[in-house]
């Protein structure tokens, strides 16, 4: 089955298209008439425009900047020029400059204690080798050696040094 379409599409009329075009024309005419009326009244229409700071004779009305609050959280700060002008008139008393405090951490005592334990460990190991024949004495010395090794494992680390350091 074949179908043939005859007719010229240029001659085809669309009523909706015609209505839309006439309405657009009406809107254009009314907006032009309103502009003409506004001009005839002599009242300028307020518009936003950019004026560079070089051309502008007045100072800015206020400045915003990013700052921090008491807890260190970010906060937008407003610098009011009126308040700044008042602050310039009334000069605050100058506070003496605070000197930076210097803290030193001394771990010499802890280091000496650890070195002493290491020396004791070496001596006990030598005594154990010397007392190889006497089993009871060797057991007592091994017990002391185990205690000293336990103390060394607790004290020979950075955490213990920080906790027992002298801060001045």
Hunting for tokens 């602050």 — which residue is that?
Answer: 87
Q: Which residues pair with 75 in a beta bridge?
A: 67
Q: Is the pLDDT of residue 142 over 70?
A: yes
Read off the pLDDT of residues 114-131 as tens digits, 9 standing for 90 and up: 999 999 999 999 998 888
Percent of the chain at pLDDT exceeding 70: 70
- The pLDDT of residue 91 is 58
Q: Which residues contact 145 (CB under 8 A, 6 or more apart)?
A: 121, 124, 125, 128
Asked whether 157 and 163 are in contact (CB, 8 A), the reply is no
- The pLDDT of residue 50 is 75
Q: How confident is the model at residue 34 (pLDDT cuts 50, 70, 90)?
A: confident
Q: In whole angstroms, what separates CA 33 from the centre of its chain?
A: 55
Q: Please give the C-alpha separations between residue 24 and each of 4, 33, 87, in angstroms, as whole numbers.
A: 37, 14, 60
Q: How confident is the model at residue 111 (pLDDT cuts 50, 70, 90)?
A: very high
Tokens of 34: 């309103």
Read off the pLDDT of residues 78-95 as tens digits, 9 standing for 90 and up: 877 777 666 666 555 556
Q: Is the pLDDT of residue 67 over 80?
A: yes
């Amino acid at each position: 089955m074949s179908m043939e379409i005859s007719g010229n599409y240029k001659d085809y009329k669309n009523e909706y298209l015609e209505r839309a075009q006439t309405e657009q024309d009406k809107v254009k005419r009314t907006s032009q008439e309103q502009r003409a009326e506004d001009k005839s009244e002599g009242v300028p229409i307020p518009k936003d425009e950019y004026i560079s700071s070089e051309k502008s004779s007045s100072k800015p009305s206020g400045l915003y900047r990013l700052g921090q609050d008491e807890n260190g959280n970010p906060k937008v700060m407003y610098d009011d020029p009126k308040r700044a002008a008042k602050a310039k008139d009334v000069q605050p008393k100058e506070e003496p400059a605070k000197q930076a405090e210097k803290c030193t951490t001394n771990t010499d005592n802890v280091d000496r204690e650890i070195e002493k334990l290491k020396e004791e460990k070496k001596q006990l190991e030598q005594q154990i080798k010397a007392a190889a024949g006497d089993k009871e004495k060797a057991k007592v010395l091994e017990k002391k050696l185990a205690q000293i090794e336990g103390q060394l494992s607790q004290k020979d680390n950075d955490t213990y040094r920080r906790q027992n350091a002298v801060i001045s």
